[in-house]
Amino acid sequence: MRQAGRYLPEYRKLRGDRDILETCKDPSQVVEITMQPLRRMDLDAAIVFSDIMVPLAGVGVDVHIEPGRGPVVDTPVRAERDIERLRPLEPEQDVPETLEAIRLLREELSVPLIGFAGAPFTLASYLIEGGPSRTHERTKGLMHGDHMAWDALMRALVAIVVPHLRAQVEAGAQALQVFDSWVGALDRDDYRRRVQPHMSSLFSGLVDLGVPVIHFGVGTGELLGQMAITGGQVLGIDWRVPIDEAWDRVGHDRAVQGNLDPAVLGAPWEMVERKTLEILRRAGGRDGHIFNLGHGVLPDTPPDVLARLVDFVHAETERRPA
Amino acid sequence: MRQAGRYLPEYRKLRGDRDILETCKDPSQVVEITMQPLRRMDLDAAIVFSDIMVPLAGVGVDVHIEPGRGPVVDTPVRAERDIERLRPLEPEQDVPETLEAIRLLREELSVPLIGFAGAPFTLASYLIEGGPSRTHERTKGLMHGDHMAWDALMRALVAIVVPHLRAQVEAGAQALQVFDSWVGALDRDDYRRRVQPHMSSLFSGLVDLGVPVIHFGVGTGELLGQMAITGGQVLGIDWRVPIDEAWDRVGHDRAVQGNLDPAVLGAPWEMVERKTLEILRRAGGRDGHIFNLGHGVLPDTPPDVLARLVDFVHAETERRPA
């Protein structure tokens, strides 16, 4: 689950009015926030508290996280010279606090720790639009309008994301998740031509690490086959596509993570149970199903329902034949 | 194309600072705005200038359209009594201006006129969330949490939408489009249980009119089979699913409308041409392909590119065997 603990009252209390990116620079707070969900529920893994914009801030992008809106980039990427300013990440210098927090977490944790990063398309959308976008209009404008600049931007982002992910593993992360959250806005042809080559180079840069990589996006039903070819031992899916059909699209040599609609957690428990059982039924008890939400926990989600869900999935999957 | 002419400078000049819903109450302005795109390009049909919120305003919902944001409902639907206030539409009393504009338009137009309405799920989302939503969290909350209230709301909306669509045809509209724009946020099971029965009743209420109905949504790749069963001689699709695959899902007894990504119109002409040719190639010259964008025209779209696209599609399709 994305956004380790952002929906928890103890997180809100701890962070107060501080910008998320500022909070990410305080290793002891990162450790505490990462641990918070684990104290409430019997989770099988932890994900380090961070934000996909952290490495961009690390190389000097003027980004902040606006409450209720999301990442805002004050000087969006619009021209060649904006792209040139995106220098490769030097993790120990640019994101030392995340790495320090990962080292500290490994001493405290009894479950595996997941590191993560945003994927180039999704990061590019924030950089180009200047904030969250429904249409990704300017992003597509650059992608279609200037292939040279687009490819330069994608390469610059790969040179930020790959060192960031590698450094997280070197610091102790035992798995990685790559969030290409908004890539589902593209058609398959654009994905293949303008995103896939860069994602392939990203995944190639991780192969020798020997850790599992989860490749995630929202609304990617039509792209799953391509995304699986591109990389990731695990494909993360949202709730729109039934998990058995998603599995057919990605291939049965991959694991699949998902796919409960986060909005269902606001419903009465009977509905949570019904939806969960349906996912487990469709997953058919196969090895390589990682039960999870199809996207991040919504801010108003009651933590008790999440904790109950974790226990319910454990009880149901222990009961089944492997 | 949705939003007749909202991207045109002559539209912006004509409307000035007036709220869209106010503008919709002026039949001569509705006629003028509906005609504007036809003066610039050789379109095969016109769509009446209106907004999916018009009939809700007609029955007394306090809605306005906020520039750059969309429909905002000041007192969102949260409880049973909010639903009770949604009385059935009496078109000649509640939306007389739209009907008058349609009558006037039929005298002026030499191409068919399309009337339209929002579908119950999409309208419900605006009513419940109080504005545009990325997650549709509260909408799904009511849908999952209170089936009685949800079904009452859907029925109330059908009793607004059906008379609205019927009255448009009686006033002269020669085809209808039903915009279930946001229904792609649902999984197939929720669609089948909580939306489809009400959509079936909506389509049943139009059958005797004898006009073609276009059934449209965004991000509906996984729902297309269900949506086709539900109704509509034409299924409108976005750009995420290739049109030939979409056609396989909806069945070859239906027509398909789409599926150019509106964001492509901001790209250099070569890209517009390449994407257009790919859609035409995949549609394979079949009867029943209505070339269109996959969603509304984006506000920054250059009108000249649209006009050139219309001519290009005409030239290409005349050249092909029927």
Could you give the ipTM of this predicted complex?
Answer: 0.93
Contacts with A279 (C-beta within 8 Å, 6 or more apart), sequence order: A243, A258, A259, A260, A291
Cβ–Cβ gap A267/B188 under 8 Å: no
Place of tokens 């695990």: A234
Cβ–Cβ gap A188/B145 under 8 Å: no
Confidence of residue B3 (pLDDT cuts 50, 70, 90): low
CB A51 within 8 A of CB A24: yes
CB distance from A261 to chain B under 8 Å?
Answer: yes
Look up A180 and say whether it is catalytic: no
How far is Cα of residue B281 from the mean position of the Cα atoms in its chain? 26
Q: How far is B47 from chain A (nearest CA, A)?
A: 23
B218-249 pLDDT, tens per residue? 999 999 999 999 999 999 999 999 999 999 99
Tokens of B270: 């070569």
Cβ–Cβ gap B137/A188 under 8 Å: no
Render A179-195 in DSSP notation, one character per residue.
E-TTGGGS-HHHIIIII
CB distance from A318 to chain B under 8 Å?
Answer: no
From A144, A187, A271, residue closest to B271, measured CB to CB: A144
Q: How far is B3 from chain A (nearest CA, A)?
A: 16
Cβ neighbours of B222 in A, within 8 Å: 221, 240-242, 245
**Active-site residue, from A7, A11, A126, A191:** A126
Task: Give the residue numbers of B marked as catalytic.
Answer: 2, 6, 15, 51, 126
CB A237 within 8 A of CB A267: no
Cβ–Cβ gap A263/B222 under 8 Å: no
From B240, B245, B263, residue closest to A135, measured CB to CB: B263
B149-199 pLDDT, tens per residue? 999 999 999 999 999 999 999 999 999 999 999 999 999 999 999 999 999
**Active-site residue, from A7, A51, A191, A254:** A51
What element of type H or E holds A84? helix A80-84
pLDDT tens, N- to C-terminus, chain A (322 residues): 445 678 899 999 999 989 999 999 999 999 999 999 999 999 999 999 999 999 999 999 999 999 888 999 999 998 889 999 999 999 999 999 999 999 999 999 999 999 999 999 999 999 999 999 999 999 999 999 999 999 999 999 999 999 999 999 999 999 999 999 999 999 999 999 999 999 999 999 999 999 999 999 999 999 999 999 999 999 999 999 999 999 999 999 999 999 999 999 999 999 999 999 999 999 998 889 999 999 999 988 999 999 999 999 999 998 765 4
Alpha helices per DSSP H over B109-146 = 120-129, 137-145
CB distance from B265 to chain A under 8 Å?
Answer: no
**Amino acid symbol at A190:** D
Which of B136, B187, B195, B279 is the best residue to mutate to test the A interface, defined by the most A CB atoms within 10 Å of its own CB?
Answer: B187
Q: How far is A145 from chain B (nearest CA, A)?
A: 5
Render B236-297 in DSSP notation, one character per residue.
E--SSS-HHHHHHHH-TTSEEEEEE-GGGGGS-HHHHHHHHHHHHHHHTT-TTEEEEESSPP
Residue A1: predicted pLDDT: 46
Contacts with A314 (C-beta within 8 Å, 6 or more apart), sequence order: A42
Cβ–Cβ gap B266/A188 under 8 Å: no
Q: How far is B267 from chain A (nearest CA, A)?
A: 5
Q: For residue A241, which of B191, B239, B244 has the smallest C-alpha distance? A: B191
How far is Cα of residue A216 from the mean position of the Cα atoms in its chain? 6
pTM (2 d.p.): 0.95
From A137, A186, A263, residue closest to B266, measured CB to CB: A137
Look up A7 and say whether it is catalytic: no
Residue B28: phi, psi to the nearest 5?
A: -70, -35
Which 3 state secondary structure label does DSSP give B299? coil
Contacts with A176 (C-beta within 8 Å, 6 or more apart), sequence order: A114, A115, A116, A117, A165, A168, A169, A206, A209, A211, A212, A213, A214
Distance in angstroms (rounded) separating the CA atoms of residues A122 and A226: 17
Q: For residue B134, which of B63, B199, B69 has the smallest C-alpha distance? A: B69
Q: Which domains does chain A have, with CATH numbers?
A: 9-256 (3.20.20.210)
Residue A135 CB burial class (10 angstroms; 0-12, 13-18, ≥19): middle
Which 3 state secondary structure label does DSSP give B46? strand
β-strands A234-236, B46-47 pairing: unpaired
Residue B104 in this model has a pLDDT that exceeds 60? yes
Residue A321: predicted pLDDT: 58
Buried residues in B20-49 as b, exposed as e (16+ CB within 10 A): bbebbbbbebbbbbbbbbbeeeebebbbbb
Residue B2 in this model has a pLDDT that exceeds 50? no
CB B140 within 8 A of CB A263: yes
**Active-site residue, from A7, A11, A15, A138:** A15
Q: How far is B187 from chain A (nearest CA, A)?
A: 5
Which of A137, A241, A243, A265 is the best residue to mutate to test the B interface, defined by the most B CB atoms within 10 Å of its own CB?
Answer: A137
Residue B320: predicted pLDDT: 66
Tokens of A160: 């930020």
CB distance from A189 to chain B under 8 Å?
Answer: yes
B39-86 pLDDT, tens per residue? 999 999 999 999 999 999 999 999 999 988 899 999 999 888 999 999
Cβ–Cβ gap A241/B222 under 8 Å: yes
B115-163 pLDDT, tens per residue? 999 999 999 999 999 999 999 999 999 999 999 999 999 999 999 999 9
From A135, A221, A268, residue closest to B221, measured CB to CB: A221
Cβ–Cβ gap B268/A145 under 8 Å: yes
Contacts with A169 (C-beta within 8 Å, 6 or more apart), sequence order: A115, A176, A209, A211
Cβ neighbours of A221 in B, within 8 Å: 221-222, 240
Cβ neighbours of A240 in B, within 8 Å: 184, 186-187, 219, 221-222
Buried residues in B96-116 as b, exposed as e (16+ CB within 10 A): bbbbbbbebbeeebeeebbbb
Cβ–Cβ gap A141/B262 under 8 Å: no
Distance in angstroms (rounded) separating the CA atoms of residues A69 and A3: 15
Using CA atoms of A53, A56, A60, A62 in order, give the dihedral in degrees to the nearest 10: -40
CB A150 within 8 A of CB A191: no
CB distance from A140 to chain B under 8 Å?
Answer: yes
Cβ neighbours of B150 in A, within 8 Å: none
Q: How many residues does chain B have?
A: 322
